[in-house]
Amino acid sequence: MIARRAVAAVLAVAAVPLALMLSGCVRTERYRYVQRQDPCFSPPPDADPVPGAAGEKRPYPSVDCRSTRYKTGFIEFDQQGGHIDPDQAKKVLALIAHEKAHVTGGKVITLVYVHGWKNNGNLAPPGKVKDVERFTTALNEIGRRAKLASPNNPVPIIGVYIGWKGKSLMGPGWFNWLSYWGRRNTANRIGGQSLTKVLNDIIDTTTPNNADKSRVLFVGHSFGARVLEHAVENGVKLYEPEVKEAAIPVRTRVDLVLYVNAANDARLSMGRLQKLQAEPIAVRHPDYDPVRCAKAPPQDPTCKAYPLIVAITSRGDQATKFLQPIATRLNRDGNSAPNPQPITGTFLDETPSMGRLRRSAPGHLKFMHSHLVTEVDCPLEPGERVTCAANDPTCAFAFRSPGEDAACFKANVRVPAEAKRPYNETAFWIMDVDTRIVKDHNDIWNLSMLNMLGELMAPRGFFEPEKERMRIQTVR
- Distance (Å, whole) CA 460 – CA 283: 10
Contact assessment for residue 228 and residue 191, using Cβ atoms and an 8 Å cutoff: yes
Contact assessment for residue 211 and residue 469, using Cβ atoms and an 8 Å cutoff: no
Tell me the pLDDT of the chain (476 aa) as tens digits. 444 443 334 334 444 444 444 444 556 689 999 999 999 998 888 899 999 988 888 989 999 999 999 999 999 999 999 999 999 999 999 999 999 999 999 999 999 999 998 778 888 788 888 899 999 999 999 999 999 999 999 999 999 999 998 665 454 554 455 667 777 888 889 999 999 999 999 999 999 998 999 999 999 999 999 999 999 999 999 998 765 566 677 889 999 999 999 999 999 999 999 999 999 999 999 899 999 999 999 999 999 999 999 999 999 999 999 988 888 888 777 678 899 999 999 999 999 999 999 999 999 999 999 999 999 999 988 778 899 999 999 999 999 998 777 899 999 999 999 889 999 999 999 999 999 999 999 999 999 999 999 999 988 999 999 999 999 988 87
- Distance (Å, whole) CA 200 – CA 207: 10
For 432, other C-beta atoms within 10 Å of its C-beta total: 25
What totals of helices (H) and strands (E) does the chain contain, helices first? 13, 14
pLDDT of residue 23: 46
Contact assessment for residue 431 and residue 267, using Cβ atoms and an 8 Å cutoff: no
Q: How many CA atoms lie within 13 A of 172 on its CB side?
A: 2
- Distance (Å, whole) CA 158 – CA 112: 8
Distances (CA, A) of 332 to 178, 265, 336: 15, 11, 10
pLDDT of residue 326: 85
pLDDT of residue 181: 73
Query: Where in the chain are the domains?
Result: 2-370+426-474
- Distance (Å, whole) CA 277 – CA 272: 9
Greatest extent of the chain over all pairs of C-alpha atoms, in Å: 74
Q: For 399, phi and psi rounded to 5 degrees?
A: -160, 165
Which helix (H) or strand (E) element contains residue 318? helix 318-318
pLDDT of residue 4: 42
- Distance (Å, whole) CA 80 – CA 75: 15
E-state strands within 8-156:
63-64, 71-76, 109-114
Contact assessment for residue 309 and residue 428, using Cβ atoms and an 8 Å cutoff: yes
